[in-house]
Amino acid sequence: MVDCATLTSVTLCPTFWAGLGGGLSVLLSAIGAGIGIGISGPAIAGAGVERPEVMFKTFIATILAEALAIYGLVVGLLSVFHITDALTLAGSVRIFAGGLTMGAAALGAGFGIGTSGSALAAATAEKPEIFSRAVITLILAEALAIYALVTALLLVLQAS
């Protein structure tokens, strides 16, 4: 067990790195989700005013943006669960890397989901029949976060 209080530098403390990783995962993912919802939300509302029938379809952008925060939360919680006495410095750096990967990817994916979700809402409001094709870009933006989730889970689960 490493007693962080006795260390000469906080950078040698496993709890610091694991905690920072978990925190960044939750924080950046939440920001990414917020960006996604913030950009696509008004467009979905605008589309819903003109075409109420497409509102539920286009709501998928908000759901996918919200999922980013959940991915971040999962990685964050797993990181917290790994903060034990047995955690080594090498393991904690893995958790930090996992958290940072998840958070940064969710940030990018959030922007992608926001802009493509907004465009999806606008395009579907104009031509409802193109929804099934226009939604592909939204799914591809979400896939970015899923790649990061897989990588982050592998990093965090191998930490111990």
The contact set with another protein (CB under 8 A) reads 39-40, 42-47, 49-51, 114-115, 118-119, 121-123, 125-128
**Looking at beta carbons only, is 20 or 121 nearer to another protein?**
121
Minimum distance from residue 63 beta carbon to another protein (Å):
17
Closer by beta carbon to another protein, 44 or else 60: 44
Side-chain half-sphere CA neighbours of 52 within 13 A: 0
Which C-beta is closer to another protein: that of 43 or that of 75?
Answer: 43
Shortest Cβ 71–another protein spacing (Å): 23
Stated length of the chain: 160
- Smallest distance, another protein to C-beta of residue 53, A: 11
H or E element in which residue 82 lies: none
The residues, ordered by sequence, that sit 6+ positions from 63 with a Cβ below 8 Å of its Cβ are none
- Supply the minimum distance, in Å, between the C-beta of residue 143 and another protein: 22
Work out how close the CB of 58 gets to another protein at its nearest, in angstroms, rounded to a whole number: 9
Nearer to another protein, 68 or 78 (CB): 68
Tokens 């992608």: give the residue: 112
Q: In b/e form, how buried is each residue of 37-56, taking b as 16+ CB within 10 angstroms?
A: bebbbebbebbbeebeebbe
Choose between 5 and 52: whose C-beta lies nearer to another protein: 52
For 86-107, give one letter per residue: b (16+ CB within 10 A) or e. ebeeebbbbbbbbbbbbbbbbb
